[in-house]
Structure 1
Amino acid sequence: MTQQVVYTVHVEFGDCDPAGIVWFPNFFRWIDAASRHFFAERGVPRWEETAKTLGVIGTPLVDTHTRFVKSASYGDTLQVEVTIPEWRDKSFVQTYRVKRGDDLILECEEVRIFAARREGGGIRAVAIPPEIRRLCE
């Protein structure tokens, strides 16, 4: 299992719906940012660089499951706790716990792949580069 990385989000007025709670797609935007932040914190270069050196253009999402527990609102500071509990050949499981202090706001589990460009267009899953996995474990 990998180490935990925490990504902090400050909820702005525009992140909320007319009822004053965070509009749910914003959580997915923050989770996606937290995913990339995880790799940056572990020393993985930007995807533009790995595209040149390893052929890896990023880690697209292929499956997600989310459980919303409590709401969040304008002015809240949220911590997105990120870990990778499972590595597979061409994919990995990344988990997120969004918290406001001790309050759990949501839990999310994603499956992502390491992607490279496919000849003729599109992308394909590739084996996880050992150097990236080493940085993350």
Structure 2
Amino acid sequence: MFATTRPLRFGDCDPSGIAYFPSYLNILVGVMEDFFADLGLPIRQMIDERKISWPTVRLDLTFVSPGYHGDQLDFTLRVRAIGRSSLDLDHEIRVGDRLLWSAKHRVVATSTETHTSIAWPEDIRAALRQHLEANDAHNPAT
């Protein structure tokens, strides 16, 4: 599991101070960048040197509770399955014990030159495998 905390800033909220849901997606992209950087795969290196990106192809969000300006959002990211080119993730976003929202997320390794899916290189696959949740190891992505 990967975990990080992000503040919910004024610009992320509507005029009443409640999180504007599209802002959550922007924050989630930053969390994904941090996750890959934590694996030793910073986004600039992935794109500029390795010519690999990981666009979202599926994202299923469930909103449970509102977030408010000033909240510290605790993000957890779990690797659920690793496919040839896909990566299935589970996200939970909480403030303390309160669940704000969760997401089931699929990204796909893509060549930045051809914009087509590619197999995860073995070193990236090995780094991702270290985060694979044991109870989901028999549920590979496609």
Provide TM-score, normalisation by structure 2: 0.84
Change (3 A) 1:14 1:49: closer
Instruction: State the Cα deviation string for residues 46-88 of structure 1 (Å, max 9, x = none).
Output: 23323455431x1100111000000010111011101111001
Instruction: Check whether the contact 2:67–2:100 (CA below 8 A) recurs between aligned residues.
Output: yes
Instruction: Check whether the contact 1:62–1:113 (CA below 8 A) recurs between aligned residues.
Output: yes
Q: Give the whole-Å Cα distance in 2 for the aligned partners of 1:43 and 1:70.
A: 33
**Structure 1: which 5+ residue stretches go unaligned?**
none
Change (3 A) 1:49 1:12: closer
- Which position in structure 2 is the counterpart of 1:75? 70
Q: CA deviation at 1:134?
A: 1.1
Among candidates 44, 47, 51, match of residue 48 of structure 1: 44
Instruction: Check whether the contact 2:33–2:43 (CA below 8 A) recurs between aligned residues.
Output: no
**Structure 2: which 5+ residue stretches go unaligned?**
131-142
For the aligned residues, what is the CA RMSD?
1.5
Provide TM-score, normalisation by structure 1: 0.86
- Which position in structure 1 is the counterpart of 2:126? 134
Q: CA deviation at 1:12?
A: 1.6
